[in-house]
Amino acid sequence: MSVDQALTIADLKDRARRRVPKMFFDYADSGAWTEGTYRANEDDFHKVKLRQRVLVDMTNRSLASEMIGEAVSMPVALAPTGLTGMQHADGEMLAAQAAEEAGVPFTLSTMSICSIEDVRSVTSKPFWFQLYVMQDKDFVHNLIDRAKAAGCSALVLTLDLQILGQRHKDLRNGLSAPPRFTPKHVWQMATRPFWCLDMLGTKRRTFGNIVGHAKGVTDLSSLSSWTSEQFDPQLSWKDIAWIRDRWGGKLILKGILDEEDARMSLDSGADAIIVSNHGGRQLDGAASSISMLPRIVDAVGDRMEVHLDGGIRSGQDVLKALCHGAKGTYIGRPFLYGLGAGGKAGVRRALEIIRKELDVTLALCGERDVKNLSRKNLHTDL
């Protein structure tokens, strides 16, 4: 099946599983420890029930909206994901192009394979940059300045990874970037010939934002010790101020899952928060994103923009999050599966699938404009 024949995100996932070496496919398709929160993110969307309406005018529908004041063709952004260039050669550049063509925001991770400058060189509209605050503050300052110089229009500051959660699959697979060359890894790669061919055609196989930019990181062994020690466990609310000041543009706080933290975000001067548990990759046992969304919207939604990620696998899921008050949503794995399945065409297909589902769902709920969705479109008495 070609990517254009894929009807669902699950179809793209099946194809990605057959094309991407196991260690990198598993890296995307995994959560922390028991993976309970990873599963809950998806499962809890099924508990939200839509109100079906009939005999209303369903012509001239609009999915267009705004996220942090930027026009979007639908309120669905690509989430920042590390090692995206290992799902497919030059993955971040291809995904950014697909997002630009689809009229939705692309967010580049600090832990990307393609660098900020690489992505800038193949796009013509501003993309968003996600920042991890490292202990090496010179590196962080420099990274913020590079994102500014590349014209990024929003900084997405991730707050839920001060220390690393554990994913058993990654440890069992011996995941590393660049890939290691043990017999097991060589076998995993050799059985994925298209992936290998594409990868041989690019020079981008390590963390593009870090190597050559962080002090002392010049080769593979210095890189792996640097990354494992560098996430800052002392990051605090006070740090938001200097990051915001240095950046000077739109700021989005990612990884808010609690009403108290949402209220604290109000004073930080951020433009938006993302209700997120890092796709179930950090605190296993945390609540699903969609289950926390209503109370976070009730706490701060009238004073700041609330976005959501985690578990979105369809346009119906996007619509449910919008009904619960999210102004925008993000997809992580759905676009990674598309990328692994077929590069840029696969990301394009993932966005087309979600757009079509969102549009048809909107109509069958008796609405014509995503901006009019609210809790009135849901059954709340289940």
Ligand X SMILES: Cc1cc2nc3c(=O)[nH]c(=O)nc-3n(C[C@H](O)[C@H](O)[C@H](O)COP(=O)(O)O)c2cc1C
Contacts of 376 (CB under 8 A, 6+ apart): 51
Query: Is 369:64 a contact under the CB 8 Å cutoff?
Result: no
By CB under 6 A, how many residues form the interface with ligand X?
Answer: 24
Residue 256 Cβ, how far from ligand X at the closest point, in Å?
A: 11
Q: Which two tokens stand for residue 259?
A: 């009403």
Stretch that binds ligand X, among 6-14, 65-73, 79-87, 120-128 (CB under 6 A): 79-87
Residue 83 CB, nearest approach to ligand X (Å): 7
Q: Are the C-beta atoms of 354 and 335 separated by less than 8 Å?
A: no
Reply yes or no on whether 278 is catalytic: yes
Distance, first Cα to last Cα, the chain? 39
**Binding span for ligand X by CB under 6 A among 119-127, 243-251, 272-280, 367-375:** 272-280
Enumerate the known binding-site residues for FMN.
80-82, 109, 130, 158, 254, 276, 309-313, 332-333
Residue identified by tokens 């503050």 is 137
The phi and psi torsions of 71 (rounded to 5 degrees) equal -70, 135
Give the interface segment with ligand X, choosing from 52-60, 237-245, 303-311, 368-376 (CB under 6 A).
303-311
Beta bridge partners of 306: 273
Largest Cα–Cα separation, the chain = 66
Helix (H, G, I), strand (E, B) or coil at 87: coil
208 is an interface residue for ligand X by CB under 6 A = no
> Any contact of residue 82 with ligand X (CB under 6 A)?
yes
Measured CA distances, 225 to 85, 221, 326 (Å) = 21, 7, 38
- Report if residue 85 touches ligand X, rule: CB under 6 A: no
Residue ranges of the annotated binding site for glyoxylate are 27, 132, 167, 278, 281
- Which of 278, 327, 349, 355: binder of ligand X (CB under 6 A)? 278
Q: Which of 185, 278, 307, 324 is catalytic?
A: 278
> Is there binding between residue 331 and ligand X (CB under 6 A)?
yes
- Residue 342 and residue 13 in contact, taking contact as beta carbons nearer than 8 Å: no
Q: Active-site residues: which are they?
A: 278
In the complex, which residues of this chain contact ligand X (CB under 6 A)? 27-28, 41, 79-82, 109, 111, 130, 158, 254, 276, 278-279, 281, 309-312, 331-333, 336
